[in-house]
A and B are shown apart, each in its own frame.
Chain A
Amino acid sequence: MILALVALPALAAVAAFLIRSHALRRSLLVAVAVVHAGLVGLLWIDPARFPAMGTWLASDALGRIFLAIASLLFLAVSVSAVGFLQRESGATSADTEEGFLFSNAPEAVFTACLLGFLSTMTLVTVSQHFGLLWVSIEATTLVSAPLIHYHRHHRSLEATWKYLLVCSVGIAVALLGTYFLAASVPSAAGAARSAATSLTFSGLARAAASLDAGWLKAAFLLLLVGYGTKMGLAPMHTWLPDAHSEAPSVVSALLSGALLNCAFLAVLRVLSVCAAAGLGGFGRQTILVLGLVSMAVAAGLIIGQPDYKRMLAYSSVEHMGILCVGIGLGGLGDWGALFHAVNHSFTKAALFLLAGNFLAAYGTKKSSDVNGAAGTLPVTAALWVAGLFAITGAPPFGVFSSELTILRAGVNAGAWAVVAIYSALLVAVFVGMITMLLRMSQGGRTDLPNQAGHIGSAAAGGRGMALAVAAPPPLRAADTALSVAAPLVLLVLTGVLGLFIPQFVDTALKQAALLLGV
């Protein structure tokens, strides 16, 4: 059954590649997303139905949380993707920023890669072996690279190259770390154990007491740098803003909401081995420092950021930092960080989908050029305001309660310096993002963009022709059910989680936090 979770989207990806009909392929995408989410729901209700496959594939409490995030987000994104493909799938379109013509990648390739992305992310969450984990994370990079390169023009190409090179190098470092981890297992135990269990999480946890501390520390640092690159932790985050801002918004939502979490899961797996070997304190301190650095770097770049998609990307760097701070503090922080991962994913994915609506309608990523959205895209605009307040940690959304939990973990631990820096950075980001919101809502004009050109040309009389050319282009898209349904549902989910945490979610988070060790 676990294999079915991985194989279903993989097989569907092959099918999507072969199917000629657009309508059929789009239905397949949504159908696979629904079935996958259904299977994950079944897994949550009755984990016993999904027995472990050998020692390599199993679904534990930690993996289940990230699997649920990935599956739900994929469902939401697949609905938006249908709308996106209806709009974008054509031979040639004009670039929204520079106006040149370009053609998109074939829709079959895009859909196949999306499904492959789901398959590889599922594999990340169910693998129980460090080698398999590495293979699956590298595979997510490879299937997502064509997704970032969907718009075949020079900016997306540049983003793809940076993504491929930086992440591949990061993942190669993680491979070296995996080998170091294997080297930390002493030979006496090595002779006794069977080859297949050598690098499984449970096998390493059992052998934890006899692991060589020097090798293990080196392995932890290499793995943290390697998977941290993929997670977007500063200073290894350089690929992230480019890839997230140039990818189509449905892809950005998946990258930010699901993929970064997969890399976070890998870091947690390494940490739990360290904790079992008695190096938990060392590991958590390192993660804490990286987390604070990421938050600080992101805050610096969010303030004054003119591009709303890049701002969301830097906000992801910030939230990955928050996750690390939570894990670094430990105790209550573990629970808070896992809860925050859920909240951040839902909120950020919703925001990226909404940003896609703005981009489609206004044809610009500059926040100061998006004016009068309340009149033209009323639902998107309302959700955007709610989403921005949610992501910056305003009550009553889930992000608020998880950020507060992490703050309380800091107070409990008596880490006052961390508490002070953490709070100051949260406030700085809040100010930065709300400033952008004000810029978008006020702007220069508040009339509709297509009317603005009309009024401008009428007023200018004889010079009307010249002004009409310079006037902003008419809106290309309006709110539709497909474009706002997914972000609406995601924001409602995070709103509900902020007010009330269902018992089964709480239990799952507690079980997962236990797996991290002390």
Chain B
Amino acid sequence: MTTWVEGFLVILMLTNLWLLGSSRLLSCIAAVSVQGVLLGLLPLVIGIDVPVWRLILQAGISIGFKGIALPLLLLRAARSVDVRREVEPIVGYSASLLIGVAALTASLFIGLRLPIHGGAAPLLLVPAALFTALTGLFIIVSRRSAIVQALGYLAMESGIAAFGLALAEQEPLLIEMGTFLDAFVAIFVMGITIYHISREFDHIDSDRLSSLKDSPQ
């Protein structure tokens, strides 16, 4: 089982680099979708000490929402405005990858030094989780397209949820459900907003949403 876990975590880290380096929207959506599926599979292979039905429910929700439903929703939004790629990100793709590598190093450095009490968590879990969350945050601030920003938020949420796996035994089910539900609804509401943006403006570039600011007198 340990090899599976470490394998999944390495793939999770690679999807981050994939997300950072691709300009095609479809590719970004796929990367985030893979992250959702991985996040659903992780609790099954880590061997957390909670009832099996709870593990399966958690996996089902994560794969269903983050792996399938939300990516499809964003895909539809992207199709409706006919956007295929992010043309000019605020930070270029090579620079993004370099920053990603730096974030990976920092996550490994910090993550391996943060002792999680109980010690049941796999070695790479915390670094992988931090790296995913940082990648998501970076995507949000460095891309113009609202769809890619929503993808960044989804990645950030996945990273934080992965961190939560280290503490999963302490978390009551209801809270987990609430967390999942909120993440789902957040993306859902974002999806609707993106749909409205695309209808109103014929574009989804959030940096052109700039009519609201403090105007001098």
Contact = CB atoms under 8 A, between A and B. Distances in A.
A142 B186 contact: yes
B206 A161 contact: yes
Contacts of B108: none
A131 B182 CA distance: 12
A129 B173 CA distance: 13
B149 A165 contact: yes
A131 B190 contact: no
A131 B209 contact: no
A157 B215 CA distance: 19
A442 to B, nearest CB: 15
A182 B186 CA distance: 24
Contact of B182 (A138, A241, A246): A138
A158 B209 contact: yes
Contacts of A304: 216-217
Contacts of A38: none
A165 B196 CA distance: 15
Contact of B197 (A161, A172, A183, A241): A161
A459 interface: no
Residue with the highest number of chain A CB atoms closer than 10 Å, among B114, B117, B153: B117
A182 B167 contact: yes
B156 to A, nearest CB: 5
Contact of B146 (A161, A169, A185, A195): A161
Interface stretch (A81-89, A148-156, A329-337, A372-380): A148-156
Given A153-B200, A183-B116, A306 B215 contact: yes
Contacts of A161: 146, 193, 197, 206, 209
A187 B133 CA distance: 25
A228 to B, nearest CB: 16
A155 B213 CA distance: 11
B160 A179 contact: yes
B128 to A, nearest CB: 14
B202 to A, nearest CB: 11
Top 9 nearest A-B pairs by Cβ distance? Answer: A131-B175, A135-B178, A187-B117, A158-B209, A138-B182, A242-B212, A187-B118, A182-B167, A198-B170
- Most A CB contacts (10 A, CB to CB) among B137, B157, B189 go to B189
A168 interface: yes
A483 interface: no
B3 interface: no
A211 to B, nearest CB: 11
A448 B86 CA distance: 52
A131 B140 CA distance: 25
Pick the most buried of B166, B181, B217: most chain A CB atoms within 10 A of its CB: B217
Given A155-B211, A306-B215, A142 B189 contact: yes
Given A157-B196, A161-B206, A183-B166, A129 B175 contact: yes
A22 interface: no
A421 interface: no
A420 interface: no
Given A152-B196, A157-B200, A187-B118, A195 B172 contact: yes
Given A176-B133, A182-B167, A158 B211 contact: yes
A176 B160 CA distance: 6
A142 B185 contact: yes
Contacts of B118: 187, 190
Majority DSSP secondary structure for residues of B touching A: helix
Contacts of A134: 178-179
Given A169-B156, A172-B157, A135 B182 contact: yes
B150 to A, nearest CB: 8
Contact of B186 (A129, A138, A162, A176): A138
A176 B193 contact: no
Contacts of A305: 214
A322 B55 CA distance: 46
Given A131-B178, A138-B186, A176-B163, 6 more contacts: A131-B179, A164-B193, A179-B160, A183-B117, A187-B119, A301-B214
A212 interface: yes
Nearest to B117: A187
Contacts of A141: 186
B115 to A, nearest CB: 9
Given A152-B196, A169-B140, A183-B117, A139 B182 contact: yes
A272 to B, nearest CB: 20
A165 B140 contact: yes
A142 B186 CA distance: 6
A310 interface: yes
Q: Please indicate which of the listed interface residues B146, B156, B185, B186 has the most CB atoms of chain A within 10 Å of its own CB.
A: B186
A307 B190 CA distance: 28
Contact of B196 (A138, A142, A149, A182): A149
6 contacts: A149-B193, A164-B189, A172-B157, A179-B166, A190-B117, A246-B212
Contacts of A165: 140, 149, 153, 190, 206
A3 interface: no
A14 B20 CA distance: 41
A145 interface: yes
Interface string B151-184: 0010011001001101101111011001101100
Contact of A132 (B164, B175, B185): B175
A310 B213 CA distance: 9
B109 interface: no
Contacts of B212: 155, 158-159, 162, 241-242, 245-246
B201 interface: yes
